[in-house]
Amino acid sequence: MLTEKLMQMLEARKDEIIQIRRHLHENPEVSFQEVETAKYIADFYAGKDVKIDKEIAGKHGLVVTIKGGKPGKTIGLRADFDALPLQEETGLPFASKNPGVMHACGHDGHTAYLMVLADCLIQLKDELPGTVKIIHQNAEEMAPGGAKDIVASGVLDDMDYVFGIHFLPNGPAGVVGWHKGYTFTGRSYMKLKITGAGGHGSSPHLANDAIVAGAYFVTQAQTVISRRLRPFDIGVITIGSFDGKGQFNIIKESVELEGDIRCMSDGAQEIVQRELTNLVKGLEAGFGVTCEFTYNNDYPPLYNDPELTDRVVKILEAAQEHDADIKEVKEFPPQAPSEDFSYYNTICPGCYFFIASTPKGQDKPVYNHNPKFDIDEDALLVAAKAVGYVLTGIAAQE
């Protein structure tokens, strides 16, 4: 049986998955600069009987197409491979060799498990129903992200379903988490430059204070969340930068603000953009200032198709009954960060689920994007198996 053969192959190659992960961890590259990482991945597939689309998404994304020997659906499996601009503080023997760059979000593990899983599928492709598209995506961490360009390239237009995972320190290795519906927030970016008229601090009537207008915007922006979104909608507006530095007795002529917006639905994302735009127009009318307003919806909210997620959960629960590596399948809460996997869900139904990965002996979890972040490497095989079960299970149902 295909699934049994696949699991045996993955178990036999656990050490290889770990070694690939450690190589990637030692050699991280930040978003849109993953030259050597992309080459390492492409070299892994060189000479194999697959179609490889390279140089997508800033010339670093890859899509590997495995054509199965039996009829069936086209299913995508995605892993991201960029790192973060952080100085690593884990003390691991395979810590980053690149100063100020670190795999602090688990993308090294995502890529390692998927490379070996894909190679096993290539060897079993005569028994594989349908087609599998292995999506090695760069630049998840930096807008506009790699997913958007890969989708725009058209290489995934025939995809029927798409799946992916993320390592989270929400439990020990062996726990697989899921969530239906909106699962990750959408992310937007805003920048506002307010220009008034500078002057002497003793004579505000002869000037037009941009800081006062900016301060008004900061406080009023929060009312968009409390008074414009439904009580059941989720949204956060963070003004993370207010550049108003100047002389204490000089009225500032201009200030610049930057903000981060997260929303848990497409509708909420649209409302926040509209209301902040209106607020900027009100600043110009009410304070007599001029405004330059930039607003980008970087990533949509990530929506896990409910019916497809139910199927995934049933497959994983059935696997749990006989596979000792999958110890528990449970619902996880929605996540406040954002994830550009959401772009794949704009072209087909998808399910993005979680692999618990808290290192053994770590009493207090160290979360993603922390310079001390690490994963339990036993979770690598759990990820490969979980995605393998889902792929073969969904393929067999179609």
Closest among 159, 160, 179 to 170, alpha carbons compared: 179
User: Is 53 assigned a catalytic role?
Assistant: no
Nearest to 360 by CA among 200, 173, 189, 208: 173
Dist. CA 50–CA 64, nearest whole Å: 7
140: annotated active-site residue: yes
Distance, in Å, from the CA atom of 28 to the CA atom of 351, rounded to the nearest integer, reads 27
- Pick the closest to residue 157 from 80, 65, 50 (CA basis): 65
Q: How many CB atoms lie within 10 A of CB 76?
A: 26
**Nearest C-alpha neighbor of 75 from the set 65, 61, 85:** 65
d(CA 19, CA 24): 9
Helix (H, G, I), strand (E, B) or coil at 258: strand
- Residue in 140, 141, 209, 339 annotated catalytic: 140
User: How far is CA 280 from its chain centroid?
Assistant: 30
State the pairing for strand pair 70-80/161-168: parallel
Q: ∠147-120-325 over CA atoms, to 5°?
A: 90
Q: Which residue out of 29, 34, 82, 275 is catalytically annotated?
A: 82
The number of residues making up the chain comes to 398
By annotation, the residues acting in catalysis are 82, 140
